[in-house]
Structure 1
C-alpha cells in the first residue's frame, strides 16, 4: 500500500514540480474590456426582426422585416431604396462563374450564401451545394477539403466563408470549422474547443479575430482562444441572422429581436475596480450601514428600479467586501479605501451590538445575520409555518422558534437570528485584516480588539457554539468537540468546523495579543484532534464535487490560520491540507482561491515519511487569475446563460456531478481543456457558487455586487501578484 501511495504522490508532485513558473508580478496594463449594447424598435429600428447587416462608406445599414435603416449617432433612421446585392454561381462547363443574382438564368444557378475576399473576385464561395474556390482561370470549382482522416469538409451545406486579417481562409459548416493557412488546412470541432456549430454567418475583424453567428449565440476565435457570447448579457436574441464586424473590430449581430453590438473599450484593472466601487455605492449598499450583497430590479436590467432586501449572509458578504477594502488600503493607501473599510467595520460591529438592545437578548458577543428596517413588512409573518415545513420536510435539525427577527431596543430595526458559521467565517476573516491594514489609532485598534474578543469569548463560554437568545445553539454554528467527533449527525461538518475554530482562535490571539487563545487552540488539537480533523475539510469525490460554500469558507480560514498561527508544526500540516484543497479548485480559475494559496504555497515544500515534495501552485495559476479578472463583465445583472448544448463541454461523472444519495444527475461539467466556463459565460453573485454548472436562469432582475472582483483584485495587488 505504501508503494502505491508513494507512486501516486510522486506522479502528482513530479508533474507539478515545473508548475510555479508564473512570473510575479503579472504586469497587466491596459486591456480591451468587452462590453455590449442592444438596439430595438425603441432606438428606431423599423421592426425587431433584423434580417441582414451591411456596411458602406456612410456606415452600418440594417435590413429588417419592415425595411432598411441606417445608424446615425445612437438612432436608426429609415433608408429608402436600399437593396442588398446578391450573387449566384452560374454553371460554366465543369466550373462556375460569379454573377449578380438578378442577371443570372434560373436553371442550375447556385445561390451564394457568402464570399471571402473582394466582391469582384472572391477567393471562396459558401453555398448549400458546398465550398467553391476560385482557380487560376478565375472560375469556381467545388473544392471540399480532406482532413487526412478520410473525411471531406465542405462537401455540402457550407454556412459561410471569410478571410481573416492574416489572409487565412475560414469555412463554417455543421461539421465544424476549417481554416486554410500557408501550412495547409486545420480543422476545428468541439474536441479542439469549438463551442457550437449551427452557423448562420461569419465575419473577420481587423485584429485577427474571427466571429461566427449561430442559432444560439456568437462564437469568437482569437489568438487560439474561443469565446462564446450567448444570452441577454450579450445579445437581444440568441438566433443570429447575420453578422458584421466594423473597421474598429466591433461586432454587429442581426437577430430576431433587434441588433446586438459587442465592442471593446481600453481599461485597466484599477479603472475596472473604480467602476464596481461606483456601482456598489450607487446601487448595492443597503441601509445607512452599507451592507453589501445583491439587489433586486423590478424591471429587467434597469438599475433605476432597485429594490433593497436582505440576504441570509449579509454579514459574510459585507465582511468579504470590507476585507477587500482593507487590502486596497494596504496596497494603495487610498483614503477612500480606508473610509470604506471603516464603514464595513461599523456595519459588522452593529450586528454584534444591536442584539443586546431589545427584549430578546442573546449572550454577549453574539452577532446577527443581518438587519431590516421596521418601517417595512414584518419578516416574522408566516415564519413559524415556513420553518415548521422546512424542519418536517427538509432538515430535521432546523430550528423552529419565534421571533426569528427580534426588534432592536430603539424599535428601528429587525435583526435576524440563527446566525450561521458562514457569517462567523466572514467576520473572523475581516477583523485581523482590518486590524493590521486599516486601524491606525489606539481607539480604532481597541475597538476591533473588543469586537473579536467578545465574539470569541462567546464561543468559548458556550462550549464552542454560537448560542441564540433562546439559549440553544444556532443551526449551523456548532463547533463543540463532542458534537463534531461523536455525534453521527455532525460528522460531515467535522473537518470544516475544526479548521474554522482553529483559525478563529488564531486570529483572535493575533488581534488581542492574548496567548490564552493559542493555548485553547492547542488543547483542541491535543485533546480533540482538531488538527487531524482539519486536514480534510470536506467530503468530496474530486474536482467539482461537494458543497461549494464550504470551499469559500475553508479558504478564508486557511488564509488566516497560516498567516497568524505561531505553531510551525501546525502550519506545516495545514499547508499541505491547503494544497490538497487548492488542486481541486485549480480548474475553476478562481483568482481569490489562487491568490490565497499562492501567498503561502509559492516555493513551498512538504515532507512526509517518504520524501519531500514541491507543493507550489501549478503553472498557469497567475495567468488564469489575471484572465478571470479581465474577463469579468462590467454588467453584473443576472442574465441567463445556457451552455449544456455546447460541443466543447465534458460532463462530470455521476460521483462528481451530484451527492451520492441524489437520484437525479444534473448537467455539470467543464471545457475540453479541463477548466470550467470563463466568468463571462456564466453568472454568479459570490465565490461560493458552483462554477461547474452549465446553465444559469437569470432574467435580469438581480444586480450583483462587484465584490467578487474587488476582493481578489485588491488581495492580488496587496500581495504583489499583479501590477497595474
Structure 2
C-alpha cells in the first residue's frame, strides 16, 4: 500500500461549473490506467482500476493506492459494490471484501475467466458475470463457499457482458452486446430484436427505484420493461453507461463523452471537458459531487 498527497487543478467546462482533475505528487492525472468502477464507502471514494484499488478522502487532499495482491483478487479490479456494510470488489483472480478494518479474499479454482460485473441478490448470493474469450459468456453464483456456473450451454447469449443486476422478485438480468438474459432461478429467458427489443446491442441494464428494468441500446436510446411490456426510445441516444443514485436519479453516460441525469421527469445534460483520447468509463454521484471515472483519471464535479 502506498500513501501519496494529492493536488487539484480547477478547470472550467462548457456548462460553467467547476471541474476537478485529481493529480498525484508527480503532477500527473491520478492513475494513468482506466478507472473501471467508482464507489462511496465509509465516507471515502474508492476507484477500481487496471492497476489496483485507490482510496481518496472526500476533501481530495490525500489518497492511498492499494496494489497488494495478498489482499486483492489480482492486480486488475473490474467492479465495486456495497453489500452488508462491506466494500466488495471483483478482480482477475477472484473477489474480496473490506469491512473498514479487515480484508477477506476468495480465489476459486473455477475463476478462469475475465469478470466484468458483480451483484448481490436478496438471499445474499454473489453473482459475477464475465467472458472467456469471445466464445463463452459466464455467470457464477457464490454462497457459503459453494459455486454454481452458467454459460452458453445453459442458454446464455454469447457476447461481451455489459451489465448485471437483480430485480425485486429475485430475477437476474444479464445484458450483452447480442441481447438480454433473464434468469428466474430455474430457467433462462432471452430478449432480442425477435422478441421486441429495438436492438440486440445492449449497453447496460439497471433496476429503477420502482422496480422497473431499464436497458440502454446502442442506437435506440433507453427501453423500460413495465407490466411485461417494453417501452422504447426514452432519453438520450447512444447510452453507454447506466446507473441509479441512492436518491433515485438515473445517470446515463452518452457516447462516452457526456452524461445526463434524469430526475422528476426532467433530463439535465452535462458535458465534461475531455481530451480527444479521454472517455467516460464509470460514474457515480452523491449529494454533493459527480464522480466521473475515465480512461485517464478521475474527474469530480461539485453539484450545483
Structure in which a larger fraction of residues adopt strand: 2
Query: How high is the TM-score relative to the length of structure 2?
Result: 0.50
Structure in which a larger fraction of residues adopt helix: 1
